Amino acid sequence: MAQLDGTAIIARSLKRQGVEHIFGVMGFPIVDLAQVVQREGLNYYGFRNEQSASYAAGAVGFMTGRPGVCMTVSGPGMVHAVAGLSNAWANCWPMLLVSGAPDSYQREQGAFQEAPQLEAARPFVKLSTRPDSLARVPAYIEKCVRTSMAGRPGAVYLDLPNDIIAGKHDEASVPWAPCCGAPPRPLADPREVERALAALRAAKRPLVIVGKGAAYAHAEHEVRAFLEASRLPFLAAPMGKGVVPDDHAQSVAPARSLALQEADVIFLIGARLNWIMHFGLPPRFARDVRVVQLDIAAEEIGTNVPAEVGLVGDAQAVMSQLNEALSAAPWQLAADSAWWTALRAKIAENDAQVAAMSRDDALPMGYYRVFGEIRAQLPRDAIIVSEGANTMDIGRSMMPNFAPRQRLDAGTFGTMGVGPGFAIAAAVTHPDKRVFCIEGDSAFGFSGMEVETACRYRLPITFIVVNNNGIGAGETVLSDPIPPNTYTPNARYDKVIEAFGGRGFFVNTPDELRKALSDAALESMPTLINVMINPVSTRKPQKFDWLTR
């Protein structure tokens, strides 16, 4: 009777569920498992810290719609990966964390790296579970994958004690589980569809907000068709960028504050009225704003502001319903309406202001000039990963996306350190696209060692570190005591990547930046462009604080 190892059963079960990429740091008790995973034809990427590996798994979930997998050792390794679970939880992304654990018989004996792993995962996951036997592993993995994708997506956790990993089972009688398909795409109540259209049609100042739920649902064709048929203005949430191209004539991104503040009806498509959207409350929104809300999670409808219309369902499916109903009884917001006229005037005003700032020749450079140079050389289908404070905030308006699911940033959880893990996930899932990881120097520091990972796998990511010597405005010379927000002035992050065979560029001027970007584009290895900017450079004056209270 041929016996199959536990490692092979785990690896084949993951493969059967459509998993292609596994990110982790190996060690007891998953040393053999990581090797067997490779032998079984899965791609295993060894990271330098489980945090980044877990961020990569979440990013795969967002970009592909099936959970990325992070694999960790027991105890500290698993605890580090809670970072990725929490980030996926906040962003509603499917991911699976599989962690080794001590042998079951050693539980509660103070085993090596023993920890309450199921409990550590639980607040951030849809399911935190542990199979009781090797025979049940295929069914557990199927359930984990299905649960992560179903309804509102999220993270799941699977605990694998060493005795299960090291076990054996009769090869002929392994109870394999079939691959779970894509989750169902529920339709909304047709009466709500009619009510949504009626509310938008009656609005004087309607606004559509496209969130990352729309991106996740692959609703790009349906959303665009709806916008073009209705001629409604739209704003993209940070990771909803690219569902409809940022240069679409109906994007009112440059007039964001005005659009939010004056809209009388907003239509949220897979976007939440949380802190990023200022809770839907004054002063950022009109006091009596009416809300039409589309979300897969019924409990989300009405968060912070009561929703007048609740479209509970999948964004792609429900937008098709809306399109059908709209084509049966067409209407459009007039191009010469007072609302479009006001929005266009504001867009022109803000565009002119930003254009001037992005041409500013002052040295050291400010953010807008840096982004102006980068933007000029970005391919249209670039994947943009971005994090940092000003770097990310200003980058949201200055770095356009033209295709969906190609913008990844610190997101709903505001997690710093996600950049390299996200960029590696993007590079391995989209080998045909160029990946730019644009981050502040402080953000880079959280996971900077992962440039070694990028170099080892020869992933031609362009890292751009927008360096202001610290968090917010760092200093140019260290004073005593060292200010809490200041890091080593003029730190040579570009030299870090050279230690691993990548190419670094140290840049002070627009000319140098332009040249570095075009040289980096020719490299087959990762590159890092370290851009020194004016430490006191900031965002253009904003009407509201970023966290409006």
Binding site for ligand ADP (CB under 6 A): 91-92, 152-153, 211-213, 216-217, 237, 239-240, 270-272, 274, 276, 295-297, 300, 314-315, 412
Q: Tell me which stretch binds Mg ion (CB under 5 A): 105-113, 186-194, 314-322, 433-441.
A: 433-441
Residues of span 276-315 touching Mg ion by CB under 5 A: none
Task: Specify the length of the chain in residues.
Answer: 549
Q: Binds 260, which of Mg ion, ligand ADP, none (CB < 5 to 8 A, cut-off by type)?
A: none
Grouping H, G, I as helix, E, B as strand and the rest as coil, residue 221 is: helix
Q: How far is the CB of 211 from ligand ADP (least distance, A)?
A: 3
Instruction: Return the number of the residue (300 or 441) whose C-beta is nearest ligand ADP.
Output: 300
* Chain residue whose CB lies nearest Mg ion: 440
Instruction: Return the number of the residue (88 or 165) whose C-beta is nearest ligand ADP.
Output: 88
* Chain residue whose CB lies nearest ligand ADP: 213
Among 49, 128, 230, 442, binds Mg ion (CB under 5 A): 442
- Residue 441 as a binder of Mg ion (CB under 5 A): the answer is yes
Q: How far is the CB of 493 from Mg ion (least distance, A)?
A: 11
Pairing assessment for the beta strands 168-170 and 3-5 based on DSSP bridges: antiparallel
| Residue 165 DSSP one-character state | H
Q: Binds 440, which of Mg ion, ligand ADP, none (CB < 5 to 8 A, cut-off by type)?
A: Mg ion
Q: Binds 148, which of ligand ADP, Mg ion, none (CB < 5 to 8 A, cut-off by type)?
A: none
Closest CA to 423 of 408, 410, 413: 408
**What is the end-to-end Cα distance of the chain in Å, rounded?**
68
Q: Binds 441, which of Mg ion, ligand ADP, none (CB < 5 to 8 A, cut-off by type)?
A: Mg ion
Strand partners, 385: 408, 437
Query: Per DSSP, which regions of 134-198 are E strands?
Result: 155-161, 168-170
Closest CA to 58 of 50, 72, 47, 68: 68
Q: Binds 315, which of Mg ion, ligand ADP, none (CB < 5 to 8 A, cut-off by type)?
A: ligand ADP
Q: How far is the CB of 390 from ligand ADP (least distance, A)?
A: 19
Contact 101, 161 (CB under 8 A): yes
At residue 400's C-alpha, the angle toward residues 396 and 401, to 5°, is 110
Q: Binds 443, which of ligand ADP, Mg ion, none (CB < 5 to 8 A, cut-off by type)?
A: none
At residue 470's C-alpha, the angle toward residues 467 and 471, to 5°, is 115
Among 211, 240, 440, 502, binds Mg ion (CB under 5 A): 440
Pairing assessment for the beta strands 125-129 and 155-161 based on DSSP bridges: parallel
CB atoms within 10 A of CB 448: 22
Phi, psi of 413 (to 5 degrees): -90, -10
Cα 16 to Cα 348, 358, 396, 460: the distances in Å are 53, 50, 38, 30
Q: How far is the CB of 470 from Mg ion (least distance, A)?
A: 5
Q: Binds 92, which of ligand ADP, Mg ion, none (CB < 5 to 8 A, cut-off by type)?
A: ligand ADP
Instruction: Return the number of the residue (131 or 213) whose C-beta is nearest ligand ADP.
Output: 213
Interaction pattern, residues 467-496, with Mg ion; x per rule: CB under 5 A: -x----------------------------
Q: Which residues contact 417 (CB under 8 A, 6 or more apart)?
A: 51, 52, 55, 83, 387, 443, 446, 447
Contacts with Mg ion by CB under 5 A: the residue count is 4
- Residue 439 as a binder of Mg ion (CB under 5 A): the answer is no
Q: Binds 297, which of Mg ion, ligand ADP, none (CB < 5 to 8 A, cut-off by type)?
A: ligand ADP
Instruction: Return the number of the residue (72 or 468) whose C-beta is nearest Mg ion.
Output: 468
Instruction: Return the number of the residue (23 or 93) whose C-beta is nearest ligand ADP.
Output: 93
Closest CA to 347 of 257, 277, 240: 257
Q: How far is the CB of 268 from ligand ADP (least distance, A)?
A: 8
Q: Could you give the CA distance from residue 543 to residue 106 in angstroms, rounded to a whole number?
A: 59
Q: Binds 453, which of Mg ion, ligand ADP, none (CB < 5 to 8 A, cut-off by type)?
A: none
Tell me the one-letter amino acid at 78.
M
Q: How far is the CB of 410 from ligand ADP (least distance, A)?
A: 11
Q: How far is the CB of 318 from ligand ADP (least distance, A)?
A: 7
Q: Binds 162, which of Mg ion, ligand ADP, none (CB < 5 to 8 A, cut-off by type)?
A: none
How far does CA 1 lie from the centroid of its chain? 47
Q: Could you give the CA distance from residue 232 to residue 227 in angstroms, rounded to a whole number?
A: 6
Instruction: Return the number of the residue (80 or 405) whose C-beta is nearest ligand ADP.
Output: 405
Contact 407, 381 (CB under 8 A): no
Q: Tell me which stretch binds Mg ion (CB under 5 A): 19-27, 50-58, 283-291, 437-445.
A: 437-445
Half-sphere exposure of 421 (CA within 13 A, CB side): 38
Contact 69, 98 (CB under 8 A): yes
Q: How far is the CB of 449 from ligand ADP (least distance, A)?
A: 29
Q: How far is the CB of 303 from ligand ADP (least distance, A)?
A: 9
Instruction: Return the number of the residue (131 or 440) whose C-beta is nearest Mg ion.
Output: 440
Q: Binds 237, which of ligand ADP, Mg ion, none (CB < 5 to 8 A, cut-off by type)?
A: ligand ADP
- Residue 7 as a binder of Mg ion (CB under 5 A): the answer is no
Q: Which residue has the tokens 């990946």?
A: 435
Q: Read out DSSP for 14-82?
A: HHHTT--EEEE---TTSHHHHHHHHHTT-EEEE-SSHHHHHHHHHHHHHHHSS-EEEEE-TTHHHHHHH
Task: Point out which residues bind Mg ion (CB under 5 A).
Answer: 440-442, 468
